[in-house]
Structure 1
Amino acid sequence: MKVLLPPSETKRPGGSGAPLRLDALALSSLLDQRLAVTRALVTLAGDPAEAQRVLKLSDRQVGDIEHNRMLFDAPTMPAVDRYTGVLFDALDAATLDEQSRAWLGRQVLIHSAPFGPVSALDDIPPYRLAAGIALPGVPPLRRFWAEPTSAALADAGFLLDLRSEAYVALGPVPDGAESAYIRVVTAAGRALNHFNKKAKGELVRALATTGAVITGTSDLLAWAEHNDVILRASDVPRVWELVVTA
């Protein structure tokens, strides 16, 4: 199983890891795409005014341009610790024991715009790039990433997809792959926003702390029932509703 998570716009600064090595990231077949996008980001950062325009940054966010300029020189930290925000705060990976963090490293991929999906424990630097940005010198990210990313996921086994639609577009689940896409709803079926991210973070934390072994949808549903997690079928094939009280 691989759990697919979206990234977060907000990121923890600093780190103590060695500089970024694109060839050390999970899904090594994506190296060419990673090189193209990261090099384009570094080049763009050489023109701060243009970078602010392209990346759609406010004046308060222009400091992120320096993160892009330093992509290959900045210290790194595990991706699951780099990202902050509601989902990653709920996951709270820093408080997990070694065994649970190792589970994250084996089972969780976080889908970034510059690097594609990376392992939760892959070391990455801070950066600024959203899925919908049109980056100079690179085809539209949706077109550039989608086919090679889907191909890279083809041998990943069962896919538990917790990504937002923007990141699903950067790497659709391969045709024929067994998968479950999770959306978060109330008991009455109302979709949620803040609680959507929180519930997904809590779900991944529960999977990690229980050391879940899941090879298909039936395993997922059995795990959910055993752990008092409510998953119910939706009216869309392969889409399951995670029911929360909000």
Structure 2
Amino acid sequence: MLIALPPSEGKTAPTTGPALDLDLLSIQPFTDLRHELVRELETVSAGDNALDVLGVGATVRGEVEDQQHLSSLPCAPAHEVYTGVLYQAAEFSSLSEEEMARAGDSVLIFSGLFGATSPTDLIPRYRLKMGVKLPAGTPKARWRKLWHHLDERADGQLVIDARSSDYAGWSIPDSATHVKIGAVRETDGIRKVITHNAKYYRGLFTRLALTAQAVPTTADDLAHLGSEQPEIDAIELSGTGRNLTLTVVDREQAA
């Protein structure tokens, strides 16, 4: 099993912890590009036009200013730094030692700065989207050349894909069973995609897969885990072969 997650816009800045050591992060073939991106992000963040370059608003000016010294900021496990809806639902911090070991082996968190990390890798708070135009090019274009290093990890595995489109640059190899997770709200037979709830359910299925007594190996296994949750009205599996979508259906009656 492999679980592919996006980062989150919401992040908590560690107040204590070691400084960033890129050489200790998972997936060693990504190390050189990580060094390049950190140096460029520190330089960009010190510029007068940093907010414009990074595509962020004045409310995070302090975060951007901190990035001038990104290499020396305190770090914490990635699952503690990311604090969005998905991560709240996944509840990594409440996992047992055995379950956290499973997470360390099977979860990849994709990001513009680090490419992909384990949830236990130590990182600082940062701001860098995949499409930001850094001096040497966007992270998206530069990571594209390195994604193939992940293919072996996915070979023959069930890949639970909870990534948003911005972080879906790595294409799951054909040898894997690829299951995307989505959510819709159905009102009197009319369906509407619900982005916020989709993030929640992606986090929930991450937790279910990590805490299951038996590791899910098929899309049906994953759907069964969800069907046992009282908060889920219905689950549908669609697609063909090894490319599937698991859709959570929230049903409500029109007023």
Length-normalised TM-score, structure 1 = 0.88
SS in structure 2 at match of 1:190: strand
- Following superposition of structure 1 onto structure 2, how do residues 1-246 of structure 1 map, counting pairs within 5 Å? 1-47=1-47, 49-135=48-134, 137-149=135-147, 151-157=148-154, 158=157, 159-169=159-169, 171-174=170-173, 176-186=175-185, 190-215=192-217, 219-225=218-224, 228=227, 230-234=235-239, 238-245=243-250
SS at match of 1:185: strand
Q: Which runs of 5+ in 2 are unaligned?
A: 229-234
Amino acid in the other structure paired with 2:200? K
> Does the Cα contact within 8 Å between 1:67 and 1:128 map onto a contact in 2?
no
What CA distance in whole angstroms lies between the structure 2 residues aligned with 1:62 and 1:84? 19
- SS, match of residue 35 in structure 2: helix
Count of residue pairs brought into register by the alignment = 239
Q: Is residue 205–residue 226 contact of structure 2 (8 Å, CA) maintained in 1?
A: no
Q: 1:212 to 1:106 in 2, by over 3 A?
A: farther
Q: Would the alpha carbon gap of residues 226 and 241 (structure 1) be closer, same or farther in structure 2, given more than 3 Å must change?
A: closer
Which residues of structure 1 form unaligned runs of 5+?
A: none
The letter of the residue matching 2:149 is A
Any conservation in 1 of the 2:99–2:210 contact (CA below 8 Å)?
A: yes
Q: Are the counterparts in 1 of residues 30 and 115 from structure 2 also a CA contact under 8 Å?
A: yes
Pair 241,185 (structure 1): closer, same or farther in 2 beyond 3 Å: farther
TM-score relative to the length of structure 2: 0.85
Residue deviations 1:50-91 (CA, integer Å, cap 9, x gap): 211101222221111133222211111110111011111111
Q: Is the 8 Å Cα contact of residues 212 and 223 (structure 1) preserved in structure 2?
A: no
Which protein has the bigger strand share? 2
Instruction: State the structure with more CA Rg.
Output: 2
Aligned residues: CA RMSD: 2.2
Partner-residue secondary structure (3-state), 1:153 = helix
Cα offset, 1:121, TM superposition: 0.7
Relative distance call for 1:221 and 1:234 in structure 2 (3 A) is same
Structure 2 residue identity aligned to 1:27: I
53-62 or 173-182, which deviates more: 173-182
Question: What is the rounded CA distance, in whole Å, between the counterparts of 1:46 and 1:227 in structure 2?
Answer: 46
> 1:166, CA displacement in angstroms?
0.8
Distance 2:36 2:213 in 1: 36
4+ aligned runs moved over 3 Å, structure 1: 174-178, 186-190, 234-237
Identity in percent: 31
